[in-house]
Structure 1
């Protein structure tokens, strides 16, 4: 998805809040607010349910289980309702809270009803990044998303094929890395991330998993796919509906970078090629299957959106994911520095139309329904080095150092190593020494989600899970504000 080769609040906060609560003077018994039933880590709470913790009452914003009331801050699931009296209040808690706690057998279907919150899981993340399907659960993110995009399958020679068989279905997971705490055995029919996804779906039945095909590196085969769309669709069906893992996947995603335009390679299949491929997939998989597409977010005049008939294809697609990030980066090694994911234009933007609002407006003007469009968020920053100017537009000497690749770094690293010092066009930037970075934060994500709601969009998606913090603060910001 990205242009790369494959593209806490902790106990200290809780202690501080608890200490502050202990310093509060006791109110007279007649005026004290009784404490709600004590918070229980194993209990399920729904929106409006109340619980007390360390001398304060809290109310849940939505379904939650195991989220400590003091650990979420403004982006968390709990709202602090103030101090309560544990000793002078009634010996039993109020019997009728405004919204009684209930214990549904399954988590909710997602934020804000029909809004999608979609995250990419990169198959290669199980190696150097040591990020596994279980991390989606332990971070608290599984209950806050609606869909997972599994990236990537290959499109080589115009056919769908497995991207990495070892990571996908061969790797044996020990108990401590397994979603349900049960180790894989040598003779079980399915292992790897596919089996872990199956376990995650069992634990969170609202989740849907979509197999994404292509991406920046593996888009070359779509040119051949457009020449024989029916054969391509057959191969994708046979791969995704393989009896070993047919229950894992609920849809297919086409990440063609880019039809009738240039990405890693150039395609000249014509403006209707994308629709031919999508139409064949819909015919093969049927109307109930989720079929999505990650597409260009080039909103410039005569740019990549204009090169392809996305509107006709959108009639057959469930959702569309314009990749509203990676507009600018250190592939332009001398700069100018610019935010890689601007929401709007701004004075000095290096390329007109290279921002989210331009892409969304262009797609809508061509007839793509707003509720089929999701806004893209990058869980990483892009940066330059050799920079002397704090504001955007400065000169540089090259790409800033990164953990895995120069010019790119995870949010979970940047939030501490180079905290944001300013905002521009709805996103954040930071200058640390000679390095300059741009990335999204919980605050800028809140603004972008407000934009998504104003535009009537169908939700938001992000690249990718492992860039977030261990407690999923960026995913929480998406969910809280969508």
Structure 2
């Protein structure tokens, strides 16, 4: 997926440079009137997740808070949420956001972070004083996470939840029960019956403990519950996979959100979503843009459920919207995709310790805040033992070893898939890695049968970027879908584990003087977001189709030449995929389609 560049997340919760630090609170906000307590909520060996809880224990309101601590050398914060975190050497400072600085007497607020290394904080200060009014070490620890709740006695309007107790050094006082991320009850027992539910509706339940100091611990794992009765949106017909990529950064300049899958009608016509992309850093899986993923607040009219996010709910952003989408369309499975064109450089290090990489990925996918959102993992390594944005030299066995480790870690109940090269040339990228041997560990391959040709070769010759078959004059032998699929089958990959790729965009040149393919050019045609690339929804009107070749379409307008798929060419490709016995199709990506989902509809109809 050559052109996947991450947009700048202007409002993302990132580590800020030291120059942006603001002054500490005034002595009037002394730490003797407040406490700050620390808990390590997750640990995956080379990294961890930590949480600080600030509580106003005084009699007057606090208008702001600043927590400081020291980490030993080798331990650091890599990303944070609900606070602005900065550092100077090994000294770290967290300052409240604009919306969570004010604390009434007895109120508390938490912020969290992901860290690397294994050290613990020391020399804690809150608003310039000690964090517990005594020593400079963190005070009373927050309770542990309770066990994932079980569900029983499910009716049209109620469900009984039960969970194993949390632990705490001073004692657990009670538990908050959260439904779809919002608190619905506080109980002292380890069970609760939730009532007043809607028939035939999906809910997600988690539980968190509170200790005698009123500190809350991390939430439990999530339990999905569907009440009896009622009706839901029907799933698409047929047994083929119909998968689309949803881009994390699309919520910015593209203004494309999960709700668009509903308003376009696409959600009822797909079976799977790949959420793109998680990053691969230091041989580990990690969330990339935390703001878009789980912090961005949605208003009622923007959200799938029609309910506005609140500032204190445990999960917002795309992940919460995907949770709401799955409640409305229970047939949809969501996979977390890691890598892509921009982030594939980290896979070589990951392959050097595949088991540790797989463990880190599962920790991200099963994070208690969104464990019910994801049904599997997708690896988009561009390209193992070959060159993409960077060149990998990990060897032909590295990909197979990585897939084996992922299947071992995730087990049989998760989907494990991979997006792979469609270079069917002799000695090309398919030949560089053991895709045949790795197939036994995967549910399917997303074969990227597009981006074969484009204005990355600025002089041309013009050629369709997604040819289904070869044709006389094709610039490179083996650069077409049929040859790629045939080569993968020859390497032992079962047909049903191969998905045909469709691009919801076109690639184009400018300075072209002939309509037919094969013409020379002077560079990339202008595009909305990137030269040489444009969405189908734009091209269908700005440069309508003038011809077809090798199962796809092309268009010549002015001095510009574009190639792209249309509902008609997609129908032909889907018929070919069925005749080949393929497992289905996938596409990059939702926002390139029209507002009424023309291309998704063509895939759905073509595979039914």
**TM-score (normalised: structure 1):** 0.79
- Alignment partner, residue 435 of structure 1: 560
- Alignment partner, residue 280 of structure 1: 405
Q: In structure 2, how many angstroms separate the alpha carbons of the residues matched to 1:407 and 1:247?
A: 39
Which structure 2 residues correspond to residues 98-137 of structure 1 after superposition, within 5 A?
105-112=231-238, 114-137=239-262
- Alignment partner, residue 412 of structure 1: 537
Is the aligned partner of 1:320 residue 2:320?
no
- Alignment partner, residue 297 of structure 2: 172
The structure with the greater share of residues assigned to helix is 1
Which structure 2 residues correspond to residues 368-383 of structure 1 after superposition, within 5 A?
368-383=493-508
Q: In structure 2, how many angstroms separate the alpha carbons of the residues matched to 1:184 and 1:6?
A: 25
Which residue, out of 258, 268, 272, partners 2:393? Answer: 268
| Contact map agreement 2:461 2:475 (CA 8 A) in 1 | yes
- Alignment partner, residue 480 of structure 1: 605
Q: CA deviation at 1:168?
A: 0.1
Q: In structure 1, how many angstroms separate the alpha carbons of the residues matched to 2:393 and 2:452?
A: 23
How many residue pairs get aligned? The number is: 386
Q: In structure 1, how many angstroms separate the alpha carbons of the residues matched to 2:576 and 2:303?
A: 37
SS at match of 1:252: strand
Q: CA deviation at 1:181?
A: 1.0
SS at match of 1:219: helix
Which structure 2 residues correspond to residues 455-474 of structure 1 after superposition, within 5 A?
455-474=580-599
Moved over 3 A (4+): 106-111
- Alignment partner, residue 524 of structure 2: 399
Q: CA deviation at 1:105?
A: 2.3
Q: CA deviation at 1:156?
A: 1.4
Which structure 2 residues correspond to residues 340-351 of structure 1 after superposition, within 5 A?
340-351=465-476
- Alignment partner, residue 338 of structure 1: 463
| Contact map agreement 1:111 1:117 (CA 8 A) in 2 | no
| Contact map agreement 2:570 2:602 (CA 8 A) in 1 | yes
Which residue, out of 272, 286, 300, partners 1:147? Answer: 272
- Alignment partner, residue 37 of structure 1: none
| Contact map agreement 2:241 2:584 (CA 8 A) in 1 | yes
SS at match of 1:142: helix
**TM-score (normalised: structure 2):** 0.63
| Contact map agreement 2:4 2:340 (CA 8 A) in 1 | no
Q: CA deviation at 1:107?
A: 3.4
Structure 2: unaligned runs, 5 residues or longer: 8-228
Q: CA deviation at 1:111?
A: 3.3
Q: In structure 1, how many angstroms separate the alpha carbons of the residues matched to 2:481 and 2:405?
A: 29
The structure with the greater share of residues assigned to strand is 2
Q: In structure 2, how many angstroms separate the alpha carbons of the residues matched to 1:164 and 1:221?
A: 17
Structure 1: unaligned runs, 5 residues or longer: 8-102
- Alignment partner, residue 348 of structure 2: 223
Which structure 2 residues correspond to residues 229-240 of structure 1 after superposition, within 5 A?
229-240=354-365
Q: CA deviation at 1:439?
A: 0.1
Q: In structure 2, how many angstroms separate the alpha carbons of the residues matched to 1:428 and 1:302?
A: 28
Q: In structure 2, how many angstroms separate the alpha carbons of the residues matched to 1:263 and 1:6?
A: 16
SS at match of 2:501: strand
| Contact map agreement 1:271 1:309 (CA 8 A) in 2 | yes
Residue deviations 1:218-265, cap 9 Å, x none? 001100111000100110011110000000000000000000111011
Q: CA deviation at 1:4?
A: 4.3
Q: In structure 1, how many angstroms separate the alpha carbons of the residues matched to 2:599 and 2:503?
A: 10
Which structure 2 residues correspond to residues 446-461 of structure 1 after superposition, within 5 A?
446-461=571-586
SS at match of 2:515: coil
Is the aligned partner of 1:354 residue 2:479?
yes
- Alignment partner, residue 197 of structure 1: 322
Which structure 2 residues correspond to residues 13-92 of structure 1 after superposition, within 5 A?
none
Q: CA deviation at 1:180?
A: 1.1
Q: In structure 1, how many angstroms separate the alpha carbons of the residues matched to 2:391 and 2:275?
A: 25
- Alignment partner, residue 110 of structure 2: none
